[in-house]
Structure 1
Amino acid sequence: MQYHGGDVYRNKDVRLDFSINTNPLGVPPKVLEAARGAVELLGRYPDPQQEELKKKIADVLVCEPDEVLVGNGASELFLDIVFTFMPKKIGVVTPSFGGYKYAAEACGADLIEYPLKEKSGYEIDDGISEMLDSGIDLLFLATPNNPTGRTIPLPLLERILKHCQRKNIIVVMDESFMDLCDKVDDYEDFFFKSTFDNVVRVSAFTKSFAMAGVRLGFLRAPRKLASQIAKHQSEWNVSIFAERCGLAALDEGDYLARSRVFLRGERGFVQSGLMGMGFMVFPGEADFLMIKTDFPLYDELLKKDILIRDLKDFDGLNGNYYRIAIKSRPDNMQLLAAVQEAVNAR
């Protein structure tokens, strides 16, 4: 069984959910309006080609519509990709999102792991080249990584992608949190100037626009790869509800820029507060922070009806790690107060 944040279905008394790492600014107004309007369209089939949505995504990404595919969240797209290329060996770094392991198991591939090191802050380094030379056919690579929140430095990323290109390795870049990172423009410039024919970039409206319940993701890839993957997608895999919400989200102008400014301040506020209480906090760049402590923080906060993400199911971590989302200032203050109260009581 896979575990995820946001499990309020088995934690029904939760009043503050810091386990779900979506945009703390909440669902944009235009998306809420579109969601209400979509109710009137429930009797209509969605467009199986998603032409309008693909064109709008392509306009935003400055690419061609036939280089874009959409799906029922990033997780569905990961499955579409592995069932297209049917790799025998899939490479991942650990710790990282468990959906990559799920995709490998689903298509029967062997999973080859490159363990990241605590002493280097769980950042990817050039040591990954050993895994790239181990015969893998496909590599899942997240930037920023979940649960560490760290992006891959662009010089290192370029070396990795060139290495994979020489080895004919398909690289699936999970960029689900990139829109919430200050470095997003640097990464877009990098890929705009690059000519990698082996890279599939996956993202999701889930995180960027706080639309977890809608389930909408997209990928961009060279035309040849996108065409291959499209043949393995289900028909009508995006509901008319998700399509309308996605179109509205792309009209939200400066919402993402405002989100990055907001997160920069609140991330620093939460990080300083936790470090002041003696916790080891890994410096994240997205809308969450990873911490290490031998204090049973998950259990103590759940007693106060506050849910955080226990990372005990993440490969490469030893059970003393937690992920905490960044929320509004009032919510963040409540969290820090609850943590301080729990620490004082031990």
Structure 2
Amino acid sequence: MVGLKRVHGGDIWRAAEESGRLSGELIDFSSNINPYGPPSGVDKVIVASLKGITHYPDPESRKLRGTLADYLGASSPNILVGNGSVDLIHFLANRFRPCRALIPSPTFCEYELAVKSAGGEVVHLVLGRGDFSLDVEMVLERLSGVKMVFLCNPNNPTGNLFPRDRLELVAEEAERLNVTIVVDEAFMDFLEDRENHSLIKEAVRRKNVLVLGSLTKFFALPGLRLGYVLAGEDLIAELAFHKEPWSVNHFAQVAGIAALKDEEFISMSRKLIAKERKSLYEDLLKLDRLKPYPSKTNFILVELEHPAWSSIRLREELAKRAIMIRDCSSFRGLGEKFIRVAVRDEVENGKLVDALKQVLMDY
């Protein structure tokens, strides 16, 4: 896999080491984690369940799957959980190996890494440059030459949402051609009307559609590693047979259950993130030579329009001010003129905007 590099945001440990600061002194805009989480009850259930560490975790995660089913409006037999969604991405790539997979770009790098590490080949489809829209007609044309399609919706790092009715067309044609569609909905939880955009119903009723989800982003549990895949019962049963046992630890299971049941946290987070996203987008729009792209989720892609600016240098300058951003030069189809910033709370967003003003004035 020469030329491929695994780069992610959120490496606060390395950033602290390189900056000579404590991790708690940094403001992390590089990882797209809900700043209002985790839900307040999560730490309590972890402490209360400490004695469970002396037992193997439930290998089928039955209570967690039941709670997920209630949250998603599905059934437990339609759900398989894993050690984070990246664990499941690589698991699926291996289960369907070797294959040619269609992957739009720019998008999350792990789809390509997973396919190639499983001996597969990737067919790239470039998203529309102006708005990063998905050319569904082009997807339909290329389906006959692939066995899998990976889609991220809302897409990371662009923040835009692909229309559900267009994805349903892809799912229908893919089923006819026996092509597997994997839709990563890791950021769908941030939408107040997620049920109007999710492909969960398609995944339940079709044989070839799988929806991925994660408790990392919205519920702010990246350190516990917890994700899920939702599909038809027969497909989930087949996947579960091949999944290694005990891949979801005891604390992840009890924390996931507590988080999913916190309806007040869920409602509050969606409202606050929507409010702060709008404010941050408008503030970034006012800065000279910065072009923020509209987003439906908890991060904003920003293009640097000044010829002297680069994402790498901007990242380094902001790091001196204890602010971490995502340099997007590692994303296929972007380059050194793009950064991604998470939506955080009002105070921290203000610090980012002020720091950007200071840094960009010096260029």
Shift, 1:226, TM fit = 0.7
Post-superposition Cα deviations, 1:68-122, rounded to whole Å, max 9, x if no partner, equal: 1000000111122122222410111000001101110121110111011322x11
1:204-248, CA deviations, whole angstroms, 9 ceiling, x for partnerless residues?
000110001010001110011111211221111000010110111
Aligned position for 1:40: 51
What's the secondary structure of 2:112's corresponding residue? helix
Q: Which 4+ residue blocks in structure 1 deviate beyond 4 angstroms?
A: none
Correspondences of 1:185-204 after superposition (within 5 Å): 185-188=195-198, 191=201, 195-204=205-214
In 2, the alpha carbon distance for the partners of 1:79 and 1:229 equals: 13
Q: Partners in 1 of 2:253 and 2:139 — Cα distance?
A: 39
Task: Give distance in 2, aligned partners of 1:69 and 1:169.
Answer: 20
Aligned match of 1:322 in 322, 326, 339? 339
Aligned-pair CA distance for 1:142: 0.9
In structure 2, the residue matched to 1:289 is 300
- 1:192 is displaced (CA, Å) by 6.8
Aligned-residue offset at 1:197: 2.2
Q: Percent of aligned pairs with the same residue?
A: 30
Report the counterpart of residue 291 of structure 2 in structure 1: 280
Moved more, 152-161 or 130-139: 130-139
Residue pair 2:81, 2:227 contacting (<8 A) in 1 also: yes
What is the Cα-based RMSD across aligned positions, in Å?
A: 1.8
2:27 aligned with 1:16, yes or no? yes
Distance 1:264 1:253 in 2: 17
Are positions 1:83 and 2:94 aligned together? Answer: yes
Q: What per-residue deviation string (whole Å, max 9, x for no partner) do you get for residues 26-74 of structure 1?
A: 2101112122223332212101121111122122223221111000000
For residue 111 of structure 1, what is the aligned residue in structure 2? 122
Give secondary structure in 2 for the equivalent of 1:149: coil
Q: Is 2:204–2:232's contact at 8 Å kept on the other side of the alignment?
A: no
**Structure 1 alignment gaps of length 5 or more:** none
Q: TM-score, normalised by structure 2?
A: 0.90
Matched, 1:66 2:83: no
1:6 aligns to 2:10 (yes or no): yes
1:229 aligns with 2:239: yes
Aligned partner of residue 254 in structure 1, secondary structure: helix
List aligned pairs for 1:1-346, cutoff 5 A.
1-12=5-16, 13=21, 15-119=26-130, 121-129=131-139, 132-188=142-198, 191=201, 195-278=205-288, 279-293=290-304, 294=306, 295-296=309-310, 297-346=314-363
Q: TM-score, normalised by structure 1?
A: 0.95
Aligned residues, how many? 345
> What residue identity is the alignment partner of 1:274?
L
The one-letter code matched in structure 2 to 1:264 is A
The amino acid of 1:167's aligned partner reads L
| TM-superposition CA deviations, 1:294-337 (whole Å, max 9, x none) | 42321221121210000111111122111100001010111111
Note the C-alpha offset of 1:264. 1.2
Q: What SS does the corresponding residue of 2:35 show, helix, strand or coil?
A: coil
User: C-alpha displacement at 1:203, in angstroms?
Assistant: 0.2
CA distance in 2, matches of 1:150, 1:157: 14
Deviation at 1:130, TM superposition (A): 5.4
Select between 181-190 and 85-94 the one with higher mean Cα deviation: 181-190
CA 1:68/1:130 → structure 2, altered by over 3 Å: closer, same or farther?
A: closer
> Following the alignment from structure 1 to structure 2, what is the Cα–Cα distance between the partners of residues 41 and 207?
26
**Matches of 1:132 and 1:166, distance apart in 2:** 14
